[in-house]
C-alpha cells in the first residue's frame, strides 16, 4: 500500500489551536480514565445518544473519532493488512471497522494507547447492513456486549425538513420513530446503571440539552455569517475542528465557551474583511466526511485559483439537526436529534434537499463529492444530490477516495483533479 | 396488483391482499444506462435492473411495490424511487416500505407489530382476511416441505451471498454435483416457518414470526453455526462460499464460516468480491474445485 501524501492545513484562527490542544489533553485524560484507571466506558458510533453518557459521566470513545485517531497515526494500512490476514476481504467497510482491526491485531506495542481495554458496552445504530456485524464481532473480540439500536424506516419525507426541525421535530421525524428511540434509550440507561452503578438524572439531561442548544446556536450563527460573508473568513479545514471537537463534548462548559469563542473569531474576521484566500473567486462545497489524512487538501487551491472550500456538512448541521426546542420532553427531543442523524446526511430527499438549499444560501459555485469506493453509507445519496445540485446550477465533481484510507489518495493528483474540473466547467 | 422486494416481508399479509404478484424480477445481465445515473457503486446489481425497469415503465401495471427495510439495497432503493417520483423523473407504482425490526428487545418486537398493522391498514387487510392469509400460507409452507425430496448424488452447498439466479447452481451441476443453497429470489420468497393460527391477534402472531426469523442480514444469530447446520441438513460434501463485491454484511462471517467448514472436513472454495453476473471466471474455478480437490 502507498504511503499517505497528505499536507497539513494552515490555521487562521487562534481558537483552532485551542480546540486541538483541548482534544489532545482530552485524549490523555480519556486514556488515563479508561486504560490506566480502568473506569467503565463505552465505544459508540457518532450517531448515538452521547448525551446519555455525558449525563452519567461515563467516558465514551466514538468509533469515528477512534478511526480518525488511528488514521492520523498512519496505522490504517497496517490494520487493513491485519484484517486481510484474518480472512476479511479487502473491500470491507474501512471507516466502520478500523477500530475492530486494531483490536484484532492485538499488538499493544503499535496500537494507540496500547489498544482499548474491555468497554462496558458498544452502541451503534443499524443504519447500514454492515454495522451490526462489525460491532457484534468487535464486542466479542473485546469480551463485551453490543447494544444495537434500530434505524427505523422514515416515511415522512420532507425535503425542507431543516426549516422546521428545531420546533416541529415530532412531526418531521415521526412520533413513532421518536418513541422507539426513547424506549431504546431507557433500556440503555438501565443497562448502564446496572453495570456501572452510576445514575441517570433527567433533570441533568434537560440542563445539558439547554447547554447544547446554546453551543450549537453559536455554531449556527457563525455558519449563517460565513454563508453571507464575502470573502469566506474561515476554510472548512478550520470549521471542522471548531465544530466537531466541541460536539464530541457537547453541552460541557468548555464546549459552550469554545463555540462562543469560535463564533466571535469568525465575526471578527468578517468585520475586518479577512478572507481565507487573498483573492476569493470560487466558492466550493465539500460533500462527505473529512479527508483526515490530508487536511491541507482543502486549502491547496486558495492562492492559485482563489478557490475556497466554504461549506462542509459539519458546521451548518448544527442548526437543523442539533438545536431542539425541548417542549418539556428532553428525552424525546434528544431522540429526535439522534434518530435521523445519519439519514438526513445520506438519503434522499433529506440529503439533496438540504444540501441544495445550503449551496444557494452560501453562494456555492461548485461542489466536490467524496465517493468512498468501499463504503455504502458514505456513498449513499451522493448521485441524487449531485444531480440536484447540477439542476440548481452547481457543477459537481465526484472523486473516488476514502476518508481514512490513504491508499488511493495522492495530494497533488487530487488537487490537480479539482483544478482541472474548475477549468473545464469555466470557473477558473 | 402489488409486488414486493426484499427479505422478511409479511408473506401471509401480502397473500391476504389477493393481489400480490410476487417478487419483482431482475435481470442482472441487462444494460442499465438510466439506473446508472442514480445508483452508486455499492448498490448490488439487482437494484440496477429493478430501477431500470421502473424508469422504463415496465412496472406501470403495478399499483404498489412493498420494499423491505431488512436489506440495505432494498431500503435505499425505496428512498431513491420515492424521491425520483417526487422529482418527476419516474412514474409507476407507489413505493411502500415495510419496517423490519430485528433486535431482541421488547421495543423492537412491539415495533414489528406496529409495522404489520400499518402495512395491513395501508393494503386494506383486516383481521379476518389476515387470519385467512396465514392459514393459506401455512398450507403452502407445509406443501413446500413435503415436496422437498432429496436427490441422490454428491451435494455441493452454495452459501455466502445468495446468488441472483441459478447460474452458480448450473456450474456446480455441470461439474457432476448436486447444487444446494438458496438464490436471492428463493430466500426472499420463502415465507419462513409457520405462523401461529387462531391466536385472536393475527397481526401480532405474524409479527412474532418475522421478528424471530433468521433469514436476512439484519437478523442476529451465529452464521457459522447456521452454515454447519445447513451443510448437515443437505448432506454437503463440498461448499462454495460466494460473496458478491457489494456484500458488506455477510462477509464479516467468512472467517468463522471458513473455520467451521474446515472443522467438519468439508472442502470449501472461497470466492470473495465477485461479480453478480458470474462472468469473472467463476465457472472454471468451480469446475476445477469440484472435479479436482473436492472430488
Chain A residues inside the 8 Å CB shell of B253: 133
Tell me if chain B has a CB within 8 Å of the CB of A335: no
Q: Would you call A310 helix, strand, or coil by DSSP?
A: strand
Which of chain A's residues have a Cβ under 8 Å away from the Cβ of B83? 157, 348-349, 352, 384
Judging contacts by C-beta atoms under 8 Å, the chain B residues touching residue A347 are 76, 79
Please tell me the predicted confidence (pLDDT) of residue A4. 46
pLDDT average, residue stretch A258-286: 96
The three state secondary structure string of chain B is: CEEEECCCCCHHHHHHHCCEEEECCCCCCCCCHHHHCCCCCCCCHHHHHHHHHHHHCCCCCCCEEEEECCCHHHHHHHHHHHHHHHCCCCCCCEEEEECCCCCCCHHHHHHHHHHHHHHHHHHCCCHHHHHHHHHHHHHHHHHHHHHCCCCCCCEEEEEECCCCCCHHHHHHHHCCCEEECCCHHHHHHCCCCCCCCCCCCHHHHHHHHHHHCCCCCCCCCCHHHHHHHHHHHHCEEEEEEEEECCCCCHHHHHHHHHHHHHHCCCCEEEEEEECCCCCCCHHHHHHHHHHCCCC
B36: nearest CA partner in chain A: A383
Q: What is the pLDDT of residue A214?
A: 98
CB A358 within 8 A of CB A285: yes
Stated pTM of the model: 0.95
pLDDT beneath 70: ranges in chain B: 147-150, 293, 295
- CB B107 to CB A348 under 8 A? no
Between residues 260 and 279 of chain B, which touch chain A (CB distance below 8 Å)? 272-273
- Least confident range from A7-21, A233-247, B107-121: namely A7-21
| Residue A87 at interface with chain B, using a CB cutoff of 8 Å | yes
Q: Which residues of B touch A157 (CB under 8 A)?
A: 79, 82-83, 86
Q: What pLDDT is attached to residue A3?
A: 41
Interface check B225 vs A, CB under 8 A: no
Residue A321's pLDDT is: 97
Please check whether residue B33 touches A, CB under 8 A: no
Angle between helices A202-228 and A253-272 (to 10 degrees): 10
pLDDT band at residue A401, thresholds of 50, 70 and 90?
confident
From the list A93, A153, A348, the residue facing B83 with the nearest CB is A348
Q: Does A387 touch chain B (CB under 8 A)?
A: yes
pLDDT band at A404 (very low <50, low <70, confident <90, very high): low
Residues in A closer than 8 angstroms to B51, CB to CB, are none
ipTM of the modeled complex: 0.95
| % of chain A residues with pLDDT over 90 | 80
pLDDT in tens, A175-185: 999 999 999 99
Contacts of A371 in chain B (CB under 8 A): 40-41
pLDDT tens-digit readout, A307-320: 999 999 999 999 99
In chain B, the domains with their CATH numbers are 2-106 (3.40.50.11890), 150-191+212-291 (3.40.50.11900)
| Contacts with A, B 77-96, CB within 8 Å | 78-80, 82-84, 86
Place of cell 401471509: B12
Tell which of A99, A141, A153, A183 to mutate to test the B interface (max B CBs under 10 Å).
A153
Q: pLDDT at residue A2 above 80? A: no
In chain B, which residues have their Cβ closer than 8 Å to the Cβ of A133? 217, 249-250, 252-253
Interchain proximity B248–A159, CB inside 8 Å: no
The answer to whether residue A93 scores a pLDDT higher than 90 is: no
What percentage of chain A reaches a pLDDT higher than 70?
A: 97
- Sign of the Cα torsion B51, B55, B56, B59 reads positive
Q: Does A296 touch chain B (CB under 8 A)?
A: no
The Cα–Cα gap between A246 and A187 comes to 27
**What is the chain B residue with the closest CA to A182?**
B107
Contact in structure between A236 and A9 (CB atoms under 8 Å): no
Q: To the nearest whole number, what is the mean pLDDT of chain A?
A: 93
pLDDT single digits (tens) A134-169: 999 999 999 999 999 999 999 999 999 999 999 999
Q: CA A28, CA A42: separation in Å to the nearest integer?
A: 17
Cα–Cα–Cα angle for B225, B229, B231, nearest 5°?
A: 115
Q: How many CA atoms lie within 13 A of A267 on its CB side?
A: 11
Name the 3-class secondary structure at A44: strand
Using the Cβ of B177 and the Cβ atoms of chain A, whether some distance falls under 8 Å is answered with no
Please say if the pLDDT value at position A85 is more than 80: yes
Q: Write the pLDDT tens digit of every residue in A29-84.
A: 999 999 999 999 999 999 999 999 999 999 999 998 898 888 888 888 889 899 99
SS3 assignment, position A418:
helix
pLDDT of residue B206: 98
Amino acid at each position: 500500500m502507498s504511503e499517505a501524501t497528505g499536507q497539513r492545513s494552515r490555521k487562521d484562527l487562534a481558537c483552532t489551536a485551542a480546540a486541538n490542544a483541548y482534544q489532545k489533553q482530552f485524549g490523555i485524560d480519556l486514556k488515563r480514565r479508561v486504560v490506566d484507571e480502568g473506569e467503565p466506558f463505552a465505544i459508540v458510533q457518532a450517531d448515538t445518544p452521547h448525551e446519555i453518557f455525558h449525563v452519567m459521566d461515563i467516558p465514551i470513545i466514538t468509533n469515528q473519532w477512534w478511526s480518525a485517531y488511528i488514521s492520523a497515526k498512519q496505522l490504517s494500512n497496517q490494520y487493513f493488512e491485519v484484517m486481510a490476514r484474518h480472512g476479511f476481504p479487502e473491500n470491507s467497510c474501512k471507516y466502520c471497522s478500523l477500530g475492530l482491526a486494531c483490536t484484532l491485531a492485538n499488538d499493544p506495542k503499535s496500537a494507540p494507547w496500547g489498544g482499548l481495554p474491555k468497554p462496558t458496552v458498544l452502541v451503534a445504530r443499524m443504519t447500514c447492513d454492515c454495522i451490526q456485524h462489525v460491532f457484534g464481532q468487535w464486542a466479542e473480540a473485546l469480551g463485551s456486549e453490543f447494544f444495537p439500536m434500530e434505524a427505523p424506516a422514515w416515511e415522512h419525507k420532507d425535503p425542507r425538513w431543516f426549516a422546521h426541525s428545531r420546533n416541529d421535530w415530532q412531526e418531521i421525524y415521526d412520533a413513532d420513530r421518536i418513541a422507539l428511540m426513547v424506549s431504546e434509550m431507557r433500556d440503555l440507561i438501565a443497562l448502564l446503571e446496572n453495570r456501572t452503578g452510576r445514575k441517570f438524572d433527567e433533570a441533568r439531561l434537560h440542563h445539558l440539552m439547554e447547554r447544547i442548544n446554546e453551543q450549537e446556536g453559536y455554531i449556527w450563527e457563525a455558519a449563517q455569517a460565513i454563508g453571507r460573508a464575502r470573502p469566506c473568513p474561515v476554510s472548512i479545514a478550520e470549521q471542522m475542528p471548531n465544530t466537531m471537537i466541541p460536539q464530541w463534548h457537547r453541552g460541557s462548559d468548555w464546549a459552550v465557551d469554545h463555540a462562543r469563542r469560535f463564533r466571535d473569531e469568525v465575526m471578527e474576521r468578517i468585520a475586518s474583511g479577512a478572507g481565507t484566500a487573498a483573492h476569493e473567486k470560487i466558492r466550493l462545497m465539500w460533500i462527505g466526511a473529512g479527508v483526515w489524512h490530508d487536511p491541507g487538501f482543502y486549502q491547496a487551491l486558495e492562492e492559485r485559483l482563489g478557490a475556497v472550500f466554504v461549506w462542509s456538512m459539519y458546521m451548518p448541521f448544527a442548526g437543523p439537526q442539533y438545536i431542539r426546542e425541548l417542549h418539556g420532553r428532553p428525552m424525546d427531543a434528544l431522540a429526535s436529534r439522534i434518530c435521523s442523524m445519519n439519514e438526513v446526511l445520506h438519503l434522499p430527499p433529506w440529503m439533496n434537499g438540504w444540501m441544495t438549499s445550503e449551496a444557494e444560501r452560501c453562494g456555492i459555485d461548485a461542489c466536490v463529492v467524496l465517493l468512498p469506493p468501499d463504503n455504502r453509507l458514505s456513498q449513499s445519496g451522493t448521485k441524487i444530490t449531485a444531480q440536484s445540485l447540477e439542476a440548481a446550477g452547481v457543477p459537481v465533481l465526484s472523486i473516488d477516495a476514502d476518508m481514512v484510507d490513504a491508499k488511493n489518495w495522492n495530494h497533488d493528483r487530487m488537487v490537480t483533479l479539482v483544478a482541472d474540473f474548475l477549468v473545464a466547467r469555466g470557473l477558473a | 396488483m402489488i409486488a414486493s422486494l426484499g427479505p422478511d416481508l409479511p408473506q401471509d399479509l401480502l397473500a391476504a391482499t389477493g393481489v400480490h404478484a410476487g417478487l419483482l424480477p431482475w435481470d442482472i445481465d441487462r444494460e442499465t444506462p438510466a439506473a446508472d445515473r442514480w445508483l452508486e457503486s455499492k448498490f448490488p446489481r439487482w437494484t440496477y435492473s429493478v430501477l431500470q425497469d421502473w424508469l422504463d415503465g415496465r412496472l406501470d401495471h403495478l399499483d404498489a411495490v412493498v420494499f423491505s427495510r431488512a436489506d440495505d439495497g432494498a431500503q435505499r432503493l425505496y428512498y431513491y424511487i420515492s424521491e425520483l417520483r417526487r422529482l418527476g423523473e419516474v412514474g409507476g407504482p407507489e413505493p411502500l416500505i415495510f419496517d423490519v425490526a430485528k433486535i431482541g428487545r421488547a421495543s423492537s418486537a412491539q415495533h414489528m407489530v406496529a409495522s404489520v398493522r400499518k402495512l395491513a391498514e395501508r393494503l386494506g387487510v383486516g383481521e379476518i382476511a389476515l387470519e385467512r392469509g396465514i392459514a393459506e400460507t401455512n398450507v403452502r409452507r407445509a406443501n413446500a416441505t413435503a415436496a422437498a425430496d432429496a436427490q441422490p448424488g454428491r451435494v455441493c452447498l452454495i452459501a455466502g451471498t445468495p446468488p441472483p439466479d441459478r447460474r452458480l447452481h448450473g456450474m456446480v451441476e455441470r461439474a457432476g454435483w448436486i447444487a444446494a443453497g438458496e438464490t436471492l429470489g428463493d430466500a426472499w420468497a420463502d415465507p419462513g416457518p409457520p405462523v401461529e393460527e387462531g391466536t385472536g391477534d393475527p397481526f401480532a402472531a405474524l409479527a412474532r414470526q418475522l421478528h424471530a426469523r433468521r433469514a436476512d442480514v439484519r437478523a442476529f444469530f451465529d452464521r457459522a453455526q447456521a452454515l454447519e447446520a445447513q451443510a448437515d441438513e443437505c448432506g454437503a460434501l463440498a461448499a462454495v462460499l460466494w460473496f458478491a463485491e457489494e456484500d458488506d454484511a455477510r462477509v464479516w462471517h467468512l472467517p468463522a464460516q471458513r473455520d467451521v467448514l474446515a472443522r467438519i472436513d468439508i472442502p470449501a472454495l472461497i470466492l470473495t468480491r465477485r461479480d453478480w453476473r458470474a462472468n469473472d471466471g467463476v465457472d472454471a474455478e468451480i469446475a476445477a474445485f469440484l472435479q479436482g480437490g473436492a472430488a
